[in-house]
Structure 1
Amino acid sequence: MITAKVKIKYAGDWVDDIGRYDVQCLGIASTFRNRGFVGITALDCAADEFEDVVETIRENQYVRETEVLETHESDGRILATISTHCEYTTYTPMKMIRMEGFLPIGYSEYRDGFEYLEILAEDREHVSRVIEALDFEVVEIVRIVSDFRQGVGFSLLEWQQLVETISPDERELLHLAVDSDYYDIPSGISLDDLAEEAGIAKSTASRRLRNVEGEVMPVITKYIQLYSKT
């Protein structure tokens, strides 16, 4: 078995429309019914363009409903999760790939107006059929990997469970610590000053940060070890 990354331009789709903005997306989950599509998408967007990106998606000819589920702003970027409900006049690239018997793996990527799909195929001849099967403005094979290796992906369930172990007070202090460059080398703020700015005792600040580190570091270490073995 081999894997191939396919680059597709679906002219007129909302992915095509937002190609002019500084935004990258991951299609986390999706389902189809005939030519209807419901998807959950993660966006990484320049903060000053986020509202325009969302409005552009909403105004797309195929989009019936768009909802912003969550947002988080950091370092001039907005990380957001949105849901989209679309009604198409033709089948989408993902739908056609499945209908033609190809097996998509991993997340769909959307950037620069293109959709990137990773597929599992029997051999190179099988991959070449993608070009013939997909009737879109652009269909290119970007990369072929001869040996199938499943990459290590971060478990969304594990991430949710990790976030739930961190209390609101701990999250608030962690955000303040990061914003104040507490973890920089050298540190941009002392623990005493961080605690004072947070309005808590130094011992409380130390305990909260240690609690967060105790929850986060085992998970991060596990994935670092997994990635090093791939």
Structure 2
Amino acid sequence: MYEATFELQGEGLVAELSREFSADIQLWCNDHSDLLYVRSERVASFRDELSGAVGIQESIRQGNQLVVVTDHCLRKEEQTLVETHLADNGCLSLPPLIYENGTKRSKVLALDPASLTAVYEGLRDDGAVTVRAKREIKGLHPDVPVLGLDDVFPRLSDRQFETFRVACDSGYYEVPRGTTTEEIGERLGIDRRTAEYHLRRAENKIAASLADHLTLLQ
């Protein structure tokens, strides 16, 4: 089997909401209604906007996180129907769909690598598309879902990645610490507060993403 992760510039409702509210969204489509897991500093406003647009059956909020069940499937709100290209080429979608700041990521499974190429070409005709990851799956364990590094580790901005990398290389996470945030900032040409902001954002994304998958180790 072969797996690829495609990233597209989203134009539908969910992509627009992720952009407007700087939200990280995971979406599981169930035809009659969808389940969304949302992380945003404006999660209450996100919920209100989604409720007004499509309706909500149920929701659970905890801090900046939200789980929502919509009144109906959001597929018709999408401008680029990935599923159409999958069906035409005998491929499968591996949920969830991932949305972040207006982009949409879709993981696709195929028996033939040529089918992935055909899906890519179809998506490219619809608009800009990037292949984020591609691999061959040679074996699976029945208790573990199909996961790659792209699932477990979050997408950091260039500045967040650079700050986190400098912190690691400089011994910031050693005991005792080998550097300070002020020194990290000096290496990057930014002030201490800015360095701390990017570092905390990176740490929060990494910790939250790993926490979502720790159950695999139990």
SS of 1:51's partner is helix
Distance 1:96 1:222, change over 3 A: closer
Aligned residue runs from structure 1 range 67-106, under 5 A: 67=56, 69-74=58-63, 77-83=64-70, 85=72, 86=74, 87-88=76-77, 92-106=81-95
Task: State the percentage of identical aligned residues.
Answer: 13
Which of 1 and 2 has greater Rg?
A: 1
Note the residue ranges of structure 1 that are not aligned, 5 or more in a row. Answer: 32-36, 154-219, 226-230
Instruction: Give, in angstroms, the shift of residue 142 of structure 1.
Output: 0.9
Which residue among 124, 127, 139 is the counterpart of 1:137? 127
Instruction: Give, in angstroms, the shift of residue 89 of structure 1.
Output: 8.3
TM-score in terms of structure 2 length: 0.54
Residue pair 1:100, 1:133 contacting (<8 A) in 2 also: no
Matched, 1:44 2:33: no
Superposed CA RMSD in Å reads 3.2
Provide the rounded CA distance (Å) in 1 between the counterparts of 2:215 and 2:35: 27
Provide the rounded CA distance (Å) in 2 between the counterparts of 1:30 and 1:120: 18
TM-score in terms of structure 1 length: 0.52
Residue pair 1:27, 1:39 contacting (<8 A) in 2 also: yes
1:19 aligned partner: 19
Matched, 1:146 2:133: no
Residue pair 1:70, 1:80 contacting (<8 A) in 2 also: yes
Once the two structures are superposed, residues 127-163 of structure 1 have per-residue CA deviations (whole angstroms, 9 ceiling, x without a partner) of 221222224332221100123555835xxxxxxxxxx
Instruction: Give, in angstroms, the shift of residue 91 of structure 1.
Output: 6.2
Once the two structures are superposed, residues 35-66 of structure 1 have per-residue CA deviations (whole angstroms, 9 ceiling, x without a partner) of xx7422222222xx12332344356xxx5x22
Once the two structures are superposed, residues 52-104 of structure 1 have per-residue CA deviations (whole angstroms, 9 ceiling, x without a partner) of 32344356xxx5x2206122323xx1232231534458662234423442111
Provide the rounded CA distance (Å) in 2 between the counterparts of 1:110 and 1:102: 21
Distance 1:89 1:2, change over 3 A: closer
Distance 1:124 1:99, change over 3 A: closer
